[in-house]
Amino acid sequence: MYSVNYKEMKKAAGVKAFVCANITTALMNPSDIDKIKAGDEAVAKQVGEDISCTIQHKGIFEGQYVMDLDGKLLAVDENLMEQGFGTGESFFIDEEVLETLLVTKAPTFSDVYNYGGMKRLTGYAPIFENHDETKEVIAISAITESINVIQQEIERINSQFGQITKISTMNATETNQVVGESEEQTAATHEMIKLMTDLVEMSHTLQEHTNTCKI
């Protein structure tokens, strides 16, 4: 069960990361990208502050940044700054992932990689000149997740599946005892509902990705 959950959760995490990376390209003015490339540190700082809101609203993410096509950081959010990264520095991006993004001009995500003392999974989205998808890609919006967060979610789901299986195999006497323990039953029910909600949301995310973003 763990390997199946890990594969599906990793895929869902990648989709979620690149969907958010793609949405937040709207926060970035392509002309600001040009200014940053020309050395405007004030604009780089402002863009970094703007994208910090992503992490503030989605605590599951480890950081967001903007990089050029050579892997140089153009702007970083507050989380990435706390991890010791700054504008002008190089940051890892898999060459195959970069090629996929540039050829398809569509969002994509990486496999798990180790960088900066952390196992990461990153979603990438192209930033186009003048926000025009028919023009060239001038930079990349990226959002990173820690693989530790994914593993914690897997453990939670596996734990809940274990409880569901245990309850389903109880004999009538044991089931009656569980029913009699109303507080525990209510808590278990809430967890089961949360689990199913998570799985449904994950499914919807993947379906939306299939319909709107072809990698």
pLDDT one-digit tens code per residue, 172-189: 445 445 444 455 555 545
pTM score of the predicted model: 0.70
pLDDT one-digit tens code per residue, 23-58: 889 888 999 999 999 999 999 999 999 998 877 766
> Mean pLDDT in the chain?
77
Q: What is the mean pLDDT of residues 191-204?
A: 48
The domains of the chain are located at 2-147, 151-212
CATH for 2-147? 3.30.450.20
Q: What is the mean pLDDT of residues 190-207?
A: 48
Question: Would you state the pLDDT for residue 200?
Answer: 46
Q: What is the mean pLDDT of residues 78-106?
A: 94
Q: Using 50, 70 and 90 to split pLDDT, how confident is the model at 138?
A: very high
pLDDT one-digit tens code per residue, 14-24: 888 899 899 88
131 or 203, higher pLDDT: 131
d(CA 128, CA 187): 48
Question: Would you state the pLDDT for residue 14?
Answer: 86
Helices 30-37 & 41-57 angle (0-180, nearest 10): 130
Question: Would you state the pLDDT for residue 154?
Answer: 63
- Residues whose CB is less than 8 angstroms from the CB of residue 110 and which lie 6 or more positions away in sequence, other chains included: 14, 93, 94, 97, 120, 121, 122, 123, 124
Question: Would you state the pLDDT for residue 44?
Answer: 96
